[in-house]
Amino acid sequence: MNTKPRTRIFYDDDYVLESELETRTKAEPIAKLIRSENIPGVELRSPRKATREELEEVHSPEYLDGLWNGIQDLLRSLLASTGGVLDAVDQALIDGFSGSLSSGLHHAKRTHEEGFCFINGLVIAALRALNVHKLTDIGILDLDAHCGGGTFQLIGNDARVRLADVSTNSFDSWKSFELRHHLKVVRDANNYLNEVEKALKHLSGVQFLVYNAGMDPFEGCSIGGLTGITREILQRREKLVADWCRENKVPALYVLAGGYEGPNLDLEGVARLHLLTINEFVN
Ligand SMILES: [Zn+2]
């Protein structure tokens, strides 16, 4: 029997901070669930740390100085979770799929943190695929409830990168007249999966996908949630994206993005939503 793990997911206890905010805490319960439920074919791995040089590709030296001179636990978390995204780029190009339990990426701007996001790992990942692996056509799919205005600011002018952003809330929205850019803010849950399909069509032909797999469109999340977006819809969404990658032979990496507690949703419930992504992307 072949027991070789088929999907490597990057995670380290350094990702986690003591915080009120799910963005900095939820990786731990997700890792626990992966271990305790022994999801077949998934192996957790500790990543390397990202370097300051890698962060400087998208963030200003002054902003990074502030992080380097600031709270050291936060810096440790950011370097570990960005390192995980970078390792997942390399691993996805070997195995087909990989992931990192990183979140808090897509609102980060060149000079500042925004909307719980400090370092834009999505853009740093795309740059690694372009500059280190010499790919020339990359897609970034952002299905977080909120728009990825940080990603657009940082890589919107790169003709080698196509953006597809389907949101349920206009926070951090962006505008472009370029055909390679696609943004849709969905207001009616009945249209959601249809818009995800359109976004995937927009990405036809990319050589590599960076997927920001937010669970905050879920109706039970108190930040971002849209009535009618159920767990079942999100499960179908993850299957759509993973099947699209398989059918089109597109290597992909995913990260967690948003996902928040609500009146009837505790942190374990949030973690279980993120497992939907992991389950659909097992190679
Ligand atoms: Zn969000």
Is 180 among the domain residues? yes
pLDDT value of residue 49: 97
Q: How far is ligand 1, taken at its centre, from the CA of residue 226, in Å?
A: 12
- For the chain, the C-alpha Rg in angstroms (whole number) is 17
Q: How far is the CA of 146 from the centre of ligand 1 (A)?
A: 4
Whether residue 12 is contained in a domain is answered as yes
Give the whole-angstrom CA distance, residue 89 versus residue 99. Answer: 8
Q: Does residue 128 belong to any structural domain of this protein?
A: yes
110, 154 in Cβ contact below 8 A?
Answer: yes
Domain assignment of residue 219, yes or no: yes
pLDDT of 40: 82
72 Cα: distance to centroid of ligand 1 (angstroms): 25
Q: What is the pLDDT of residue 4?
A: 59
Burial letters for 127-153: b for 16+ Cβ neighbours within 10 Å, e otherwise? bbbbeeeebebbbbbbbbbbbbbbbbb
Residue 1, pLDDT score = 46
Residue 4 CA, ligand 1 centroid: distance in Å: 34
The pLDDT score that the predictor gives to residue 256 is 94
Q: How many independent structural domains does the chain possess?
A: 1
C-alpha 173 – ligand 1 centre gap (Å): 12
pLDDT score for 3: 53
In a domain, 2, yes or no: no
Ligand 1 centroid vs 274 CA: distance in angstroms?
13
pTM of the model: 0.96
- Residue 168 CA to ligand 1 center (angstroms) comes to 9
Tell whether 227 is covered by a domain. Answer: yes
Whether residue 180 contacts residue 163, with contact meaning beta carbons closer than 8 Å, is answered with: yes
pLDDT digits (tens, 9 = 90+) for 63-117: 999 999 999 999 999 999 999 999 999 999 999 999 999 999 999 999 999 999 9
What is the Å distance from ligand 1's center to 221 Cα?
10
| Ligand 1 centroid distance, CA of 218 (Å) | 11
- For residue 243, tell me if it sits in a domain: yes
Rounded to an integer, what distance in angstroms lies between the CA atom of residue 141 and that of residue 162? 9
Give residue 282 CA to ligand 1 midpoint distance, Å: 24
Q: Tell me the CA–centroid distance for residue 257 and ligand 1, in Å.
A: 7
Distance from Cα 228 to the centre of ligand 1, integer Å: 17
Which pLDDT tens digits describe the chain residue by residue (283 residues)?
455 558 999 999 999 988 888 888 999 999 999 999 878 889 999 999 999 999 999 999 999 999 999 999 999 999 999 999 999 999 999 999 999 999 999 999 999 999 999 999 999 999 999 999 999 999 999 999 999 999 999 999 999 999 999 999 999 999 999 999 999 999 999 999 999 999 999 999 999 999 999 999 999 999 999 999 999 999 999 999 999 999 999 999 999 999 999 999 999 999 999 999 999 999 6
Whether 1 is in a domain gets the answer no
CATH of the domain at 93: 3.40.800.20
Q: Please give the residue range of the domain that contains residue 79.
A: 7-280
What local confidence, expressed as pLDDT, does residue 155 receive? 98
Euclidean distance between CA atoms 15 and 269, whole angstroms: 19
Angle, CA 13 vertex, CA 12 and CA 18 arms, to 5°: 140
Cα 120 to Cα 59, 128, 150, 235, 257: the distances in Å are 8, 13, 7, 26, 11
Distance 1 CA to ligand 1 centre (A): 41
Query: Could you count the other beta carbons within 10 Å of the beta carbon of residue 198?
Result: 14
